[in-house]
């Protein structure tokens, strides 16, 4: 049987991966031979228990390679350096002496493979629930609405990092083409609308628990997440009006708690894994010189005085860290522990989407969004020029500090054609603003 290369995990290993992985607060019922199930066993008349295990696998796979994707894109965007034993983190990724990004390296294959593993798992869930008689029509709508929303969310992550995406991956032996950003985003937005239609079916229900979606674990509340994702997709697609419409049905709240939203969760339980972006605090006795996320100095020096996002997300090291002719005075404090959750899409980001979507049509509301984020960070309201270009500059600055080290900055600068404004840390360095498509995807 032909394998699926890195586009997804190999099918003969799929169910093993799904059933062995754990997510905090989820449990499994007894089942026959859980360590060696067949794909056919879930594609034909799967039980609710089997379907729910597939949901667990989808949620777990969404976390795959988050650390690589975040630190590699953050390095390329000059948000941070990853100082560890792999020289590529300070060489290829920063274009040292003109070095190029390699389509077989971890930063190319890891995030692509991780996102498509989650997509494949979600597609198997859809196939399984459509081929079983063990669920009601209302439960089927819940499973499919969940899966379609996740697939779209993951595809947006692919597009942010690679600028392209393969949408049709249901059949590993008959894959669709890799599409450019615009064509892919059109299909992503349609998929989100399809997911919403399923979630909104009369009596739709979730027959499954969710680990990272507290407060968004019913069809009606999960639909709010779907609309939040749709708002970001529409904005990235240049459709500001549609973004604002989607926000009205999401959990966007300009006056509400900015931390609200679904999260990737982690644990130290057997079979699970921890937060890949967490790094322990350095001390004089233990400086953590060999494995640390170092904050790019410009993030510190460019910040407005009193911005609490700097003090809450970074800390001064006992002494500056130096590696490969690069240096930094601060290190990450973005996550408190190795099991701290990572936000998927929190209200703070939706407020910034609202602000951006209003630039060009409603300056008052654009400023309302910008100022909500500024005041939350301990800053005075914005007092600069209010022409569109100035507001975009301010908006991107607020995204820079609110979404630091969360896989946004590289994409934000690329979509505004501003990658060339990034600092060059060493003579001969090159700025890259998207990952190369993995070599196997070109065959």
Domains of the chain: 11-265 (1.25.40), 292-342 (no CATH), 345-421 (no CATH)
The confidence band for 289, taking pLDDT boundaries of 50, 70 and 90, is confident
Q: How far apart are CA 193 and CA 244, in angstroms?
A: 15
Is the CB of residue 417 less than 8 Å from the CB of residue 82? Answer: no
pLDDT in tens, 229-287: 999 999 999 999 999 999 999 999 999 999 999 999 999 999 899 999 999 999 998 88
Q: How far apart are CA 316 and CA 206, in angstroms?
A: 46
Compute the radius of gyration of the chain from its Cα atoms: 22
- Average pLDDT along the chain: 92
List the one residue out of 240, 255, 247, 245 whose CA is nearest residue 395. 240
Q: What is the mean pLDDT of residues 324-345?
A: 97
**Which of the residue ranges 10-19, 181-190, 293-302, 377-386 would you say has the lowest mean pLDDT?**
10-19
pLDDT value of residue 3: 37
The β-bridge partners of 292 are 83
DSSP codes of every residue in 209-240: --SS-TT--SHHHHHHHHHHHHHHHHHHTT-H
pLDDT in tens, 25-64: 333 333 334 444 466 678 989 999 999 999 999 999 999 9
Name the 3-class secondary structure at 157: helix
pLDDT value of residue 228: 98
The confidence band for 288, taking pLDDT boundaries of 50, 70 and 90, is confident
Q: What is the mean pLDDT of residues 109-131?
A: 97
The β-bridge partners of 315 are 331
The confidence band for 443, taking pLDDT boundaries of 50, 70 and 90, is low
Q: What is the mean pLDDT of residues 359-383?
A: 98
Q: Is the pLDDT score of 179 beyond 70?
A: yes
Q: Is the pLDDT score of 68 beyond 90?
A: yes
pTM confidence score: 0.92
pLDDT value of residue 287: 85
Q: How far apart are CA 110 and CA 78, in angstroms?
A: 20
**DSSP code for 168:** -
Q: What is the mean pLDDT of residues 193-221?
A: 98
Name the 3-class secondary structure at 80: strand
Q: Is the pLDDT score of 86 beyond 60?
A: yes
């Amino acid at each position: 049987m032909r394998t699926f290369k890195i586009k997804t995990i190999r099918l003969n290993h799929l169910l093993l991966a799904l059933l062995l992985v754990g997510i905090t607060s989820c449990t499994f019922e007894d089942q026959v031979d859980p360590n060696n199930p067949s794909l056919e066993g879930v594609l034909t008349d799967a039980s609710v228990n089997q379907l729910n295990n597939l949901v667990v696998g989808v949620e777990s796979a969404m976390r795959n390679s988050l650390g690589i994707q975040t630190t590699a894109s953050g390095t390329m965007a000059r948000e941070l350096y990853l100082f560890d034993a792999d020289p590529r983190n300070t060489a290829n990724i920063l274009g040292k002496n003109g070095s190029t990004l390699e389509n077989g390296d971890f930063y190319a294959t890891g995030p692509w493979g991780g996102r498509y593993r989650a997509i494949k798992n979600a597609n198997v869930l859809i196939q399984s629930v459509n081929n079983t008689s063990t669920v009601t029509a209302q439960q089927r709508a819940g499973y499919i609405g969940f899966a379609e929303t996740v697939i779209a969310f993951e595809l947006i992550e692919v597009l942010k990092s690679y600028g392209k995406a393969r949408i049709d991956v249901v059949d590993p032996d008959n894959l669709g083409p890799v599409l450019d950003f615009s064509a892919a985003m059109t299909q992503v937005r349609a998929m989100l609308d399809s997911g919403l239609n399923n979630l909104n079916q009369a009596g739709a229900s979730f027959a499954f628990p969710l680990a990272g979606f507290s407060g968004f674990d019913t069809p009606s509340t999960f639909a709010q997440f779907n609309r939040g994702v749709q708002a970001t997709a529409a904005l990235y697609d240049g459709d500001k009006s549609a973004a604002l419409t989607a926000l009205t049905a999401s959990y966007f709240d300009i006056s509400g708690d900015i931390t609200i939203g679904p999260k990737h969760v982690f644990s130290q339980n057997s079979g699970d894994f921890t937060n890949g972006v967490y790094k322990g605090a350095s001390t004089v006795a233990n400086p953590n010189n060999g494995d640390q996320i170092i904050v790019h100095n410009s993030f510190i020096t460019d910040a407005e005085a009193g911005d609490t996002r700097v003090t809450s997300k970074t800390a001064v090291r006992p002494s500056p860290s130096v590696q490969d002719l690069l240096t930094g005075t601060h290190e990450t404090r973005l996550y408190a522990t190795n099991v701290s959750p990572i936000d998927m899409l929190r209200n703070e980001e939706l407020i910034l989407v609202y602000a951006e979507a209003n630039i060009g049509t409603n300056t008052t509301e654009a400023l309302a969004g910008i100022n909500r984020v500024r005041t939350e960070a301990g800053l005075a309201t914005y007092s600069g020029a209010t022409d569109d270009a100035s507001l975009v500059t301010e908006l991107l600055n607020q995204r820079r500090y609110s979404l630091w080290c969360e896989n946004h900055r590289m994409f934000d600068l690329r979509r505004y054609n501003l990658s060339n404004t990034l600092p060059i840390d060493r003579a001969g360095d090159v700025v890259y603003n998207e990952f190369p498509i993995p070599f196997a995807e070109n065959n």
